[in-house]
A and B are shown apart, each in its own frame.
Chain A
Amino acid sequence: MWDYTKKLMEYFKNPRNVGEIKDADGTGEVGSLVCGDALRLTIKVDKATDKIQDIKFQTFGCASAIASSSILTEMAKGKTLEEASKITNGDIAAELGGLPEEKMHCSVMGMEALEAAIKSYRNGGKPIVFEQNPNAHIVCKCFNVSEETIIKAIHANKLRTVDDVTHFTKAGGACGQCKGKIQEILDRVLACEVPASAPKPFASLNVVEKVKAVEKVLNEDIKPKLNLDGGSVELVDINGSTVTLKMLGMCGGCASAGFTLKSFIEKVLKEKVDASIEVKQA
Chain B
Amino acid sequence: MKIIYFDNNATTRTLPEVLKAMEPYFTESYANASSMHSFGGENKKAIENARRQVAALIGANPSELIFTSGGTEGDSTAIYSATNSYPQKKHIITSAVEHAAVLEVFKLFASKGYKVDFIGVDQYGRFDMESYKKFIDDQTALVSVMWANSETGTIFPIAEIAKIAHEHGALMHTDAVQAVGKIEVDVKKVDVDMLSFSAHKFHGPKGMGCLYVKQGTRFLPFMVGGHQEHLRRAGTENVPGIVGLGKAAEIAKETLHLYKEKVAPLRDMLEQGLTSKIKDAKVNGDISNRLPNTSNISFGYIEGESILMFLNEHGVCASSGSACTSDSLEPSHVLRAMGVPFQFAHGSIRFSLNKYNTKEEVELVISVLPEIVENLRAISPFHGPKTSVF
Contacts and interface: CB of A to CB of B under 8 A. Distances in A.
B382 A33 contact: yes
B324 A174 contact: no
B390 A40 contact: yes
A61 B324 contact: yes
Interface string B297-334: 00001110110011001000000001111001111000
Contacts of A29: 381, 388-390
A38 B390 contact: yes
Interface in A144-180: 166, 170, 173-174
A173 B326 CA distance: 11
A277 interface: no
Interface stretch (A11-19, A43-51, A189-197): A11-19
B99 to A, nearest CB: 19
B306 A63 contact: yes
Interface in B342-390: 342-343, 346, 378-382, 387-390
A34 B345 CA distance: 9
B330 A60 contact: no
A33 B342 contact: yes
Contacts of B378: 18
B330 A174 contact: yes
Contacts of A18: 378-379
B381 A127 contact: no
A12 B389 contact: no
B107 to A, nearest CB: 11
A134 to B, nearest CB: 15
A60 B302 contact: yes
Given A36-B323, A66-B306, A127-B388, A173 B379 contact: no
B321 to A, nearest CB: 11
A59 interface: yes
B343 A33 contact: yes
A243 B388 CA distance: 71
Contacts of B303: 36-37, 60-62, 65
A129 B325 CA distance: 26
Contacts of B306: 12, 61-63, 66
Contacts of A173: 328-330
Given A58-B379, A59-B381, A170-B329, A34 B342 contact: yes
A268 interface: no
Interface string A18-57: 1010000001010011111111100000000000000001
A60 B322 contact: no
A47 B109 CA distance: 63
Contact of B382 (A13, A20, A38, A63): A38
Nearest to A18: B379
Contacts of A36: 303, 322-324, 329-331, 342, 346
Nearest to B320: A62
A1 to B, nearest CB: 8
B233 to A, nearest CB: 33
By DSSP majority rule, is chain B's interface helix, strand, loop, or mixed? loop
B381 A142 contact: no
A174 B333 CA distance: 11
A34 B306 CA distance: 17
A121 interface: no
Nearest to A129: B389
Contacts of A170: 329
Contacts of B324: 36-37, 61-62, 65
A46 B303 CA distance: 34
Contact of A127 (B313, B328, B389): B389
A26 to B, nearest CB: 13
Contacts of B390: 29, 32-33, 38, 40, 129
A59 B379 contact: yes
Contact of B329 (A38, A39, A40, A174): A174
Interface centre among B302, B303, B329 (most CB of A within 10 A): B329
A208 B380 CA distance: 63
Contacts of A35: 323, 329
A207 B127 CA distance: 79
Interface centre among B301, B306, B378 (most CB of A within 10 A): B306
Nearest to A102: B327
Contacts of B389: 29, 127, 129
Contacts of B305: 62-63
B7 to A, nearest CB: 12
B381 A58 contact: yes
Contacts of A142: 329-330
A18 B378 CA distance: 8
A48 to B, nearest CB: 28
Interface in B262-308: 301-303, 305-306
Contacts of B325: 62
Nearest to B331: A36
Given A18-B378, A36-B346, A127-B389, A60 B301 contact: yes
B388 A40 contact: yes
Contacts of A174: 328-330
A20 B379 CA distance: 9
Contacts of A12: 306, 309
A141 to B, nearest CB: 13
Contact of A62 (B313, B322, B330, B387): B322
A12 B325 CA distance: 16
A36 B322 CA distance: 8
B343 to A, nearest CB: 5
Nearest to A106: B324
Contacts of A13: 310, 313
Q: Which 3 A-B pairs have the closest CB atoms?
A: A173-B329, A36-B323, A62-B324
Given A62-B325, A173-B329, A174-B329, 5 more contacts: A29-B390, A57-B379, A66-B379, A127-B389, A173-B328
29 contacts: A12-B309, A13-B313, A18-B379, A20-B387, A27-B388, A29-B381, A33-B343, A34-B342, A36-B303, A36-B322, A36-B323, A37-B324, A38-B381, A38-B390, A59-B379, A59-B380, A60-B382, A61-B306, A62-B306, A62-B309, A62-B325, A63-B309, A127-B389, A129-B389, A142-B329, A166-B329, A170-B329, A173-B330, A174-B328
